[in-house]
Amino acid sequence: MVNGIKLDSSLSNYAVFGNPVKHSKSPQIHSLFAKQKGIELNYQAIEVHVEQFSECVRSFAHQKGKGLNITVPFKENAFSLCDTLTERAKVCGSVNTIWFDEKNHIYGDTTDGKGLINDLTVNNGLDLNNKSILVLGAGGSVRAILEPLCEQKPNQIVIANRTVSRAEELVKKFSNQGNIIACSYDDLSNLSYSRHPFNIIINGTSLSLNGKLPMIPKSTIDNGTCCYDLMYSDTETIFMKWALAQGAAKVMDGLGMLVEQAAESFMIWHGVMPDTKSVIQSLRSVKREA
Ligand code: NDP
């Protein structure tokens, strides 16, 4: 037994692997989905030691576990471990959903990008077509959302990142999918190369986690701008507060994305799509009561 993983073989077992993972809402989300659909399952959050990720996935499969969600810091490890990847996982270089066949062959997909697009377009009613989008950050989550964002045919995507070379790498990789530009935060003051203010700003940095803001100029935002923080929290994130103070038209956090990416995983594992709106509402009402 690796990392203390011991599954009850009388149940259909699912889990999220991460480190840390105690805060994860995935067990709650998947339990609510399963209840809706009358499916019995056991979904746990398992904290995996950083050096034991591969062994833990194999142990889970060996004990007839059915499916795994993968979160920080293991999405790239999961990508390397899978025997078969979906096209979108290959493009992103990251995996957040795993399943197995009877020979314990490991399959991987990424549902983060689809989750964001569903939340922006379906839950929040935004039309991304022909819009100018500013994406802050160039880490794993930004890599996962770029292709689905491009599929919405925005007019332009500007990626601003502290380490500009990382943004430039993403532009190189995705430039065949749309009009994408890389720059520094300071460069954003130069209005000549992009349509300002932006229609949509997506904060894909991890700064909100530490209560910090990306240092972007006020010229990027006005009262027509919609702002989305990939991070979610029980209260408005610092980025949402900043956007509201600048008069943004709408601010959103990443809770909807979290539920939508989970729904895509649920669909992969169970072949049915759960209702996400009621689950988002339920999680938000727990937040309000807290
Ligand atoms: P990564 O660690 O891969 O990337 C972090 C990004 O933040 C990089 O662009 C990094 O810039 C930037 N950054 C970190 N510290 C600073 C700083 N001090 N100043 C400026 N920039 C900084 O993280 P992820 O992409 O995996 O996650 C990003 C956020 O998205 C997190 O808040 C995470 O919780 C959230 N997320 C939400 C999901 C959801 O379902 N709602 C799903 C996935 C992620 P640099 O390249 O210069 O280091």
Per-residue pLDDT at 26 exceeds 70: yes
Terminal-to-terminal C-alpha distance of the chain = 37
> Can you read off the two tokens belonging to residue 98?
């795993």
Kindly report, residue by residue over 138-192, the tens digit of the pLDDT.
998 999 999 999 999 999 999 999 999 999 999 999 999 999 999 999 999 886 6
Centre of ligand 1 to C-alpha 219, Å, is 23
Residue owning the nearest CA to atom 1 of ligand 1: 139
Query: What is the spatial distance between Cα 218 and Cα 254, in angstroms, rounded to a whole number?
Result: 22
Task: Name the residue of 123, 143, 164, 205 whose CB sits within 8 Å of the most ligand 1 atoms, as the mutation to test its pocket.
Answer: 205
pLDDT more than 90, % of the chain = 90
For ligand 1, the distance from its centroid to the CA atom of residue 244, given in whole angstroms, is 21
The residue ranking higher by pLDDT, 96 or 286, is 96
- pLDDT band for position 193 (50/70/90)? low
Query: What integer is the mean pLDDT of 208-220?
Result: 93
Active site residues: 75
Q: Which position has the token pair 């314990």?
A: 104
Please say if the pLDDT value at position 18 is more than 70. Answer: yes
Query: Pairing mode, if any, of strands 13-18 and 67-70?
Result: parallel
Q: What is the pLDDT of residues 40-53, one digit of tens each?
A: 999 999 999 999 99
Adjacent-strand bridge partners of 98 = 68, 108
Check pLDDT > 80 for residue 1: no
CA distances from 175 to 132, 135, 180, 192, 270 (A): 15, 15, 6, 20, 35
Residue list, ligand 1 pocket, CB within 6 Å: 72, 112, 115, 137-142, 161-163, 166, 204-209, 230-232, 254, 257-258, 261
Ligand 1 closest atom vs CA 255: 41
Q: How far is residue 258 CA from its own chain's centroid?
A: 6
The pTM of this model reads: 0.95
> Over the stretch 123-141, which tens digit does the pLDDT of each residue have?
999 999 999 999 999 998 9
Q: How far is the CA of 118 from the centre of ligand 1 (A)?
A: 20
Query: What is the average pLDDT value for the chain, to the nearest integer?
Result: 94
The one-letter code for the residue type at 228 is Y
How does residue 5 score in pLDDT terms, banded at 50, 70 and 90?
confident
| pLDDT computed for residue 6 by the predictor | 86
* pLDDT of 288 higher than 60: no
Amino acid making up residue 231: M
Residue 257: Cβ within 10 Å count: 28
Closest C-alpha residue for ligand 1 atom 37: 230
Rg of the chain, C-alpha, whole Å: 19
Which of 3-12, 91-100, 202-211 is the least confident region?
A: 3-12
Residue 44 CA: distances (Å) to CA of 6, 211, 276 = 11, 29, 20
CA of 85 to the centre of ligand 1 (A): 24
Taking only the tens place, the pLDDT of each residue in 81-99 is: 999 999 999 999 999 999 9
Q: Which of 162, 183, 238, 257 to mutate to test the pocket of ligand 1 (most atoms within 8 A of CB)?
A: 162
